Amino acid sequence: MAEPGAPQDAASAQPLCPSADLAERGRALVFDVRLWGQPARAFVLRHDGVLRGYINRCAHVPVEMDWQPGEFLDADKRFIICAIHGATYEPAQGRCVGGPCGRSKLIALDVAERDGQACWYPSRDVQPALPAVAAAPPPPP
């Protein structure tokens, strides 16, 4: 698997949604991944015309940050803000710029737009979620 920042090949692209569904500074798409082998959530949003993707996990306390499902931006739609204690992150690099996140940053995903689709690329640390296992049918009477 390629590492963040490395050139990406189309074969590893994980499709998310049509690019047009991610409006500038609008609601993010939240999706399931595995981070270091464990289930986690990630999100992608558009800011200054560019898709940005991160693990939905605050650097202060490892909890999900959206204040409503898919809503990560502050009132001015300038920063990503954690709904728990108000840590703020600049969207381009995910660096903490205020609040209790100190010098930490969000865990970034490689995201891109290919042929009108938003997609992300797995890395050594972040892999696609495992398929849901269907419940076994009840035994015959």
Footprint on this chain of ligand FES (rule: CB under 6 A): 58, 60-61, 63, 65, 82, 84-87, 99-100
CA-based nearest residue to 79, from 95, 67, 68: 95
Nearer to ligand FES, 91 or 122 (CB): 91
Nearer to ligand FES, 65 or 109 (CB): 65
Closest separation in Å from C-beta 104 to ligand FES = 10
Question: Which residue shows structure tokens 């605050």?
Answer: 58
Backbone angles phi and psi of 104, in degrees to 5: -80, 175
Strand positions, DSSP E, 1-141: 14-18, 29-35, 38-47, 50-55, 80-81, 88-89, 96-98, 108-114, 117-121, 126-128
Nearer to ligand FES, 2 or 84 (CB): 84
Could you tell me how far CA 120 lies from the centroid of its own chain? 9
Nearer to ligand FES, 94 or 122 (CB): 94
Closest separation in Å from C-beta 65 to ligand FES = 6
Closest separation in Å from C-beta 52 to ligand FES = 18
Closest separation in Å from C-beta 14 to ligand FES = 26
Residue type, 45: L
